[in-house]
Amino acid sequence: MATTGAETQHDSSTHAVIEIPADEHSVGTFPPFDGATYASQLLWLAITFGVLYWIMTRVALPRLSGILEDRRDRIAGDIAEANRLNDESNAAIAAYEQALAEARNNAHKIALDTREKLKADIDRRRAETEKGLSEKLAQAEARIAEVKAAALGNVSEIARDTTSELVEALIGKAPTATELNKAVDTAMK
């Protein structure tokens, strides 16, 4: 180990130790607590506070208040837009419900009109059919009456012929026309 003055070195270690003489190192109080430095500390405190206050009032606070104002304006705008959209959606819902009610009323009217038209058409067809049937019935009754009259007209002649043949077959002799007419007229009454 080599020693030169106030310095001591250790060869065997990698650490160097420096010794400072005691007269260079004064032992006193901690500077912030030293009464002799209060005035300068207070001066620098006031200067630092003033500078920080000026920076805050001129730079930081206007930026912060601008940001807050922008946010407040954006929130107010968003709320106003939401209220406007809400009013529009309520108006659209009311218009939809009114249109739906009108559509239902129109559908009901159309159904009633269609029902009335169909009923009128059915009544008209029924009347036409009944009229046609009445005409056919009248024609059929007239034809029946004609056929009946024709048949009744032929009945007396058929009755005369049949009676004449029966009498001839029974007695072997044909009756006279006067006797035959008298017998048939009496039987048909």
pLDDT of residue 7: 47
Distances (CA, A) of 76 to 28, 52, 61, 69, 73: 62, 33, 22, 10, 5
How many Å apart are CA 92 and CA 131, to the nearest integer?
57
Measured from the Cβ of residue 184, the count of other Cβ atoms closer than 10 Å reads 20
> Largest Cα–Cα distance of the chain, in whole Å?
202
Tokens 């059915």 found at: 122
Domain ranges, ordered by start, for the chain: 3-188
Give residue 173's region: left, alpha or beta (phi > 0; psi -120 to 50): beta
pLDDT of residue 5: 47
How many Å apart are CA 155 and CA 140, to the nearest integer?
21
* This prediction's pTM: 0.39
Q: Nearest 5 degrees, angle CA 24-CA 30-CA 36? A: 90
How many Å apart are CA 156 and CA 187, to the nearest integer?
10
106-160: per-residue pLDDT in tens? 999 999 999 999 999 999 999 999 999 999 999 999 999 888 888 777 777 787 7
User: In which residue ranges of the chain is pLDDT below 50?
Assistant: 1-3, 5-8
Whether the Cβ atoms of residue 135 and residue 146 lie closer than 8 Å to each other: no
